[in-house]
C-alpha cells in the first residue's frame, strides 16, 4: 500500500485541527479510496483511517499502523498502550507517547 501525502489539499481540515485540538502536527495521506489523517500531540499520536465506500480490512489497518510506528522511536511509546476503535468505514488508532510537553496550556 502506497501512501501519498495530500496535506496541502486539506488545508482547512489541518487548520481546524491545529486551532481546536492539542495537535502540534497534522498530515493527510491517501491510499486509493482511503484517507489517513495522522496527528501528533504532546501526549499521543492519532491515526484516523476513513473509507466512505467500504469497511477497512485488518491488513490495511495493520499496514498503515506499522508505517507510522516505524517513524517513531520504539522508546517513545508503549506498544501495549495502543488503542484501536473500529466503526464501519472508520478506524481510529491512538498511540500514547512517553514524551510529555513542558508547555502548560
Q: Phi and psi of 47, rounded to 5°?
A: -120, 120
Q: Is 80 left (phi over 0), alpha (psi -120 to 50) or beta?
A: alpha
Q: Percent of the chain beyond pLDDT 70?
A: 93
Q: How many other CB atoms are found less than 10 A from the CB of residue 6? A: 13
Output the domain CATH number for residue 30: 3.40.1720.10
Residue 74's pLDDT is what? Answer: 86
- What is the predicted pLDDT for the residue at 101? 41
Per the structure, how many domains does the chain have?
A: 1
Decide: helix, strand or coil at residue 94: strand
Query: What's the rounded Cα separation, in Å, for the pair 80 and 47?
Result: 16
Q: Is 102 part of any domain?
A: no
User: What tens digit of pLDDT does each residue of 61-83 get?
Assistant: 999 999 999 999 888 998 898 99
Kindly tell me if the per-residue pLDDT of 47 is higher than 60.
yes
Residues 6+ apart with CB under 8 A from 89: 50, 51, 52, 53, 54, 55, 56
Report the predicted TM-score, pTM, of the whole model to 2 decimal places. Answer: 0.87
**Strand duo 77-87 + 44-50: pairing:** unpaired
Looking at residue 103, what is its pLDDT?
A: 35
Structural domain includes residue 103 = no
Residue 105 located in a structural domain: no
Please tell me the distance from the alpha carbon of residue 89 to that of residue 5, in angstroms, as a whole number. 20
Mean pLDDT (whole number) for 82-99: 94
Provide the domain limits for residue 76: 4-97
For the segment 27-44, the average pLDDT, to the nearest whole number, is 95
Amino acid at each position: 500500500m502506497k501512501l501519498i501525502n495530500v496535506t496541502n489539499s486539506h488545508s482547512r481540515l489541518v487548520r481546524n485541527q491545529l486551532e481546536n485540538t492539542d495537535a502540534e502536527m497534522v498530515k493527510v495521506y491517501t491510499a486509493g479510496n482511503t484517507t489517513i489523517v495522522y496527528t501528533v500531540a504532546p501526549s499521543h499520536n492519532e491515526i484516523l483511517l476513513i473509507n466512505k465506500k467500504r469497511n477497512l480490512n485488518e491488513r490495511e489497518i495493520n499496514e498503515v499502523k506499522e508505517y507510522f510506528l516505524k517513524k517513531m522511536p520504539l522508546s517513545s511509546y508503549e506498544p501495549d498502550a495502543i488503542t484501536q476503535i473500529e466503526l464501519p468505514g472508520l478506524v481510529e488508532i491512538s498511540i500514547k507517547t512517553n514524551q510529555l510537553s513542558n508547555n502548560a496550556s
